[in-house]
Structure 1
Amino acid sequence: MPPDRVTPEPPAMELPPESAGVRAVLAQLQVALHTLVAALLALTLVAAHRDGSAEPNLPAVLAAVGFAAVYVAGTVWERRRGTGRRARLGWLAAVLALWAALVVQVPEAAYLVFPLFFVALFLLGVWAGVVAVVALAVVAVVALGLHNGFTPAGVVGPAVGALVALGLAAGVRALYRESQARRQVIAELVATRSELATREREVGREAERARLAGEIHDTVAQGLASIGMLLHAAERADPDHPAIEQIRLARDVAGENLTETRRLIEALRPAPLEGVTLFGALQRVAGRVVAENPHIDVEVRGGLDDEPPAELAAASVRVAQEGLANAVRHGDPGRIALSLTRGEEGIVLTISDDGSGFDTSAPRAAASFGLGGMMRRVADLGGTLEVESELGRGTTVRAVWPPGRSKS
């Protein structure tokens, strides 16, 4: 019943489905182990009758039959139903006791120690397995020496077998660790891909909402505002016109529709912008980061005298959200500063942190830190995004929208 276990935790037989490679290797080792036990047991029975006596060596036969019965029964039971650690150790003790009884009768039974090395290593922990292998090797050497006299072959054979068993067990443990590491990497890649897909969908939705808000603002809203002004001008130009009531009614309808259109534009803006200015939205975003990460100090500075266009405000909020998320996720900062100002360059949004930073020249830096999406979002509105970072010295992200795009 050599269970496919290499280290105490977790047992090899309880490996997750992703460790199919390790399972296959261990299954092949088990087949080889069972075959080796059967061959050496047959050799032992043949050696028990090498003197040609008609009388069978009954104690040796009984010990061999008992060894085979316990070994096979335990193996079949383990494969079909599984057993606990105590049951496995009890099975190992029974197998070793029967082997010892067999060695007393037949010296060739000492060679069964080779598969027993692996059984002990598979069942016991690393250090307990090493101790067990050394003890079994000593027993085999002593048994061969007492039967046939101590010879170099009788000493070197078990010793080399023990070293081979220890080396192979170490290789299997290394394979298992590698399999676990790869499984963890795959799980992280799958999670990252799912997160990126979700973020891309969110970015796509927000981009489309911002685009629609901008289109409605530049077409329908502006048109209704122009219609309202023209009707107001017509009303003032000829207050006594026969259709003055219709003109006033048309102006009121245009005004109501303009109000509804503006509400629609507001609804298409990011949630943090609802009911507040851009600076207030940035404070909301920062407050959410602090609520989720109390150990980080987030400061929001600056402000604007007048509000930028809706699409630029939405882009500013999204860039701030992405920049703060990147700083928290990748930089492990203690302090983040978020600044919004208007100057000769236009609107400037700056996100600085004192985190670990990163190498901006690395080939995958933009993809790893989501900078590509931020750059596209800023560039879509005619702006530029600058990133300054150095390992161990924090990161600064600076988005600039020129004056032509930053005024409503």
Structure 2
Amino acid sequence: MSESGRNELDVETLVKRGNQPGAMSYRNSIHILTATLLVVGLGASARLTLPMFALSCVLLFVWGFFYFYGSTKRVDFSHGVQLAWLFALSLVWIVMVPIVPVSIYLLFPLFFLYLQVMPDVRGIIAVVGATAVAVASQYSVGLTFGGVMGPLVSAIVTVAIDYAFRTLWRVNNEKQQLIDQLIETRSQLAVTERNAGIAEERQRIAHEIHDTVAQGLSSIQMLLHVSEQEILAAEMEEKSKDAIVKKMRLARQTASDNLSEARAMIAALQPAALSKTSLEGALHRVTEPLLGINFVISVDGEVRQLPMKTEATLLRIAQGAIGNVAKHSEAKNCHVTLTYEDTEVRLDVVDDGVGFEPSEISSTPAGLGHIGLSALHQRAVELHGEVIVESAYGQGTAVSAALPVEPPTDPEVGSPTSGHGEFSAELDN
């Protein structure tokens, strides 16, 4: 296990963070147990001769000082210093056991320290080794069943307690991460929904302007033009004819000016990227700010003007898919393809990133993980289209969106009756 992994599992670090249930009580309980054992050791040493009593007092004091000082400062120690501190404690304990037999019970705090400083297989090995030393130290006075089972049961109980607390803290951390992610996702979803609502309302207003004001002004302009030609061809006095034509031309000019203003309003209400360039150009503008990924944008089929809502939806889907590539994929390359067909237009976003399992994402509660996928599907469904996501771990991701469109019409027969392409043509008349 790496040093960062050890520090993450370290009990003192968890206590210092202050968000682990029972961590403070866990640490204080070990300290109280240790202090009690040291006092018991001093009491038991009182039966020894004066020189041995003095030696046992020194050893107990040294061990206790090392323990409490190191426990207070250990979080700030490097891992190497912690290992050196733990080795010194173990060495003093080994020297102390033959002199103060009751100090064998200091195994308890040593076991916990082994598992805290080395929360991996090394900690278990250290516990086994210390247990063996405790059992072997009793060989000179004769091994008993209690003398063997005492250290052994202590080791098993300590490992079980440490495992239980670590499991509790790990579950708590996972729940906290889910809560944090949920809060972040809710904020992102709120922003996304607000932006989607703004964009939808802008498009609705643009359609209303196109279908009412702009169409009406265009019709007025055409009727005035026809009426002007009829008046010029009619048999009337030139003076009266000129006065009428002058007023009609002024009305045509006013209608033309208003058409230009309506055209500017519709352009301003379109998505920012589309208002300044074509759909292909808008895709380039979306990928330009994203560094570190090689984006390749290509167009297949005969490029033609699409209804404004279709172009806006494709752009929003592209922004979501490309945003997922930049945020989640760790890809080096991404190919974006815009394909024009007779009855549909398709957008494909393919990357060479780490990929994921779509079934896992679909089973994740709404709001967690790739939150953009449901939004992409919803946008396509609103225009009777579909979004297909294909991915696997280590094999990249492909997002394909298909939206139905009306087939291109022969110019001699007429153009489709919907979309801002027709409106652009009207304005040029």
TM-score per shorter chain, which class?
0.7 to 0.9
2:30 corresponds to: 33
1:282 positional shift = 6.3
2:308 corresponds to: 310
**Structure 2 segments unaligned to the other structure (5+ residues):** 233-240, 408-416, 423-429
Q: Could you list the per-position Cα deviations for residues 3-26 of structure 1 after superposition, in whole angstroms to 9, with x for gaps in the alignment?
A: xx99355644334987712xx333
Rounded Cα–Cα distance in structure 1 between residues aligned with 2:312 and 2:40: 82
Question: 1:6 touches 1:12 (CA, 8 Å); kept in 2?
Answer: no
1:167 positional shift = 3.6
1:43 corresponds to: 40
**Aligned-residue identity in percent:** 29
Question: 1:350 touches 1:397 (CA, 8 Å); kept in 2?
Answer: yes
Number of matched pairs: 389
1:150 corresponds to: 143
Q: Could you list the per-position Cα deviations for residues 197-217 of structure 1 after superposition, in whole angstroms to 9, with x for gaps in the alignment?
A: 333333222222212211221
Q: Structure 2 counterpart of 1:78, which letter?
A: K
1:92 positional shift = 3.7
Rounded Cα–Cα distance in structure 2 between residues aligned with 1:253 and 1:149: 116
SS in 2 for 1:397: strand
Q: Structure 2 counterpart of 1:99, which letter?
A: W
Rounded Cα–Cα distance in structure 2 between residues aligned with 1:290 and 1:45: 69
1:108 positional shift = 1.6
Q: Flag the 1:289–1:101 CA change in 2: closer, same or farther, 3 A.
A: closer
1:255 positional shift = 0.9
Q: Flag the 1:312–1:89 CA change in 2: closer, same or farther, 3 A.
A: closer
TM-score, scaled to structure 2: 0.72
Moved more, 54-63 or 261-270: 54-63
2:93 is the alignment partner of 1:99: yes
2:127 is the alignment partner of 1:133: yes
SS in 2 for 1:13: helix
2:229 corresponds to: 236
**Structure 1 segments unaligned to the other structure (5+ residues):** none
Moved more, 93-102 or 160-169: 93-102
1:185-204 superposed matches below 5 A: 185-204=178-197
Question: 1:110 touches 1:144 (CA, 8 Å); kept in 2?
Answer: no
1:165-244 superposed matches below 5 A: 165-238=158-231, 240=241, 242=243, 244=245
Question: 2:283 touches 2:315 (CA, 8 Å); kept in 1?
Answer: no
Rounded Cα–Cα distance in structure 2 between residues aligned with 1:326 and 1:370: 7
Q: Could you list the per-position Cα deviations for residues 217-266 of structure 1 after superposition, in whole angstroms to 9, with x for gaps in the alignment?
A: 12222232233234334433445153543432232122112112212211
2:108 is the alignment partner of 1:114: yes
Rounded Cα–Cα distance in structure 1 between residues aligned with 2:389 and 2:285: 23
Rounded Cα–Cα distance in structure 1 between residues aligned with 2:374 and 2:107: 62
SS in 1 for 2:338: strand
SS in 2 for 1:274: helix
Question: 1:350 touches 1:398 (CA, 8 Å); kept in 2?
Answer: yes
SS in 1 for 2:98: helix
1:261-272 superposed matches below 5 A: 261-272=262-273
Q: Structure 2 counterpart of 1:293, which letter?
A: I
Rounded Cα–Cα distance in structure 1 between residues aligned with 2:172 and 2:54: 48
Q: Flag the 1:220–1:314 CA change in 2: closer, same or farther, 3 A.
A: same
SS in 1 for 2:262: helix
Moved more, 197-206 or 368-377: 368-377
1:384 corresponds to: 384
Q: Structure 2 counterpart of 1:247, which letter?
A: M
1:85-96 superposed matches below 5 A: 85=79, 88-89=82-83, 91-96=85-90
1:155 positional shift = 1.8
Q: Structure 2 counterpart of 1:301, which letter?
A: D
Question: 2:8 touches 2:14 (CA, 8 Å); kept in 1?
Answer: no
Rounded Cα–Cα distance in structure 2 between residues aligned with 1:170 and 1:9: 15
Q: Could you list the per-position Cα deviations for residues 16-64 of structure 1 after superposition, in whole angstroms to 9, with x for gaps in the alignment?
A: 987712xx3332221221122122223323333458x999933333433
1:6-25 superposed matches below 5 A: 7-8=6-7, 11-15=10-14, 20-21=19-20, 24-25=21-22
SS in 2 for 1:398: strand
1:58 corresponds to: 54
CA RMSD of aligned residues (A): 4.3
1:95 positional shift = 3.8
1:322 positional shift = 3.9
Rounded Cα–Cα distance in structure 2 between residues aligned with 1:54 and 1:361: 73
1:151 positional shift = 1.6
2:251 is the alignment partner of 1:257: no
1:320 positional shift = 4.2
Question: 1:63 touches 1:102 (CA, 8 Å); kept in 2?
Answer: yes
